[in-house]
Amino acid sequence: MLWKHKLLSSRICPLNSVMGHCTALLWHGVLALLCALWVFEPAAWGQRTAPLESLRREFQRRQTGEVLPTSHWKWYILGFLALVAVLGVAVWMVERFRSRRPYTSRWLLFLELCWVHRLRWREIWELWGWIRREKIHPPARVFCEPELWEDRVDFVTLAAGGRDGSPWTALYERCFGRLTPTARNLAQASPGSAEPPPRTEGN
pLDDT tens, residue by residue, 111-129: 888 888 888 888 899 999 9
Residues 80 and 10 in one domain: yes
166-186 mean pLDDT: 74
Higher pLDDT among residues 94 and 8, named by residue = 94
- Is residue 146 in some structural domain? yes
pLDDT at 155: 75
Residues 94 and 58 in one domain: yes
Residues 158 and 78 in one domain: no
Res. 191: pLDDT tops 70: no
162-183 mean pLDDT: 76
98, 119, 135 - which closes a domain: 98
Q: Which domain holds residue 130?
A: 106-189
- Is residue 194 in some structural domain? no
What's the mean pLDDT when you consider all of the chain? 69
- Is residue 182 in some structural domain? yes
- Is residue 110 in some structural domain? yes
Q: pLDDT band for 69, please (50, 70, 90 cuts).
A: low
What CA–CA distance (Å, rounded) separates 20 from 16?
6
Prediction pTM value? 0.41
What CA–CA distance (Å, rounded) separates 145 from 189?
9
Count of CB atoms situated within 10 Å of the CB of 142: 22
- Is residue 60 in some structural domain? yes
Annotate 170-202 with b (16+ C-beta within 10 A) or e (fewer).
ebbeebbeeebbeeeebeebeeeeeeeeeeeee
CA proximity to 12, closest of 114, 130, 141:
114
Residues 119 and 50 in one domain: no
Res. 64: pLDDT tops 80: no
Number of domains in the chain: 2
What CA–CA distance (Å, rounded) separates 121 from 193?
33
Q: Tell whether the torsion through CA atoms of 12, 13, 16 and 17 is positive or negative.
A: negative
pLDDT at 95: 72
- Is residue 202 in some structural domain? no
Residues 157 and 79 in one domain: no
87-110 tens-digit pLDDT: 888 887 777 666 655 556 788 788
Q: pLDDT band for 19, please (50, 70, 90 cuts).
A: low
Share of residues in the chain with pLDDT > 70 (%): 47
Residues 135 and 84 in one domain: no
Phi-psi region of 85 (alpha: psi -120 to 50; beta: other; left: phi over 0): alpha
Residues 62 and 78 in one domain: yes
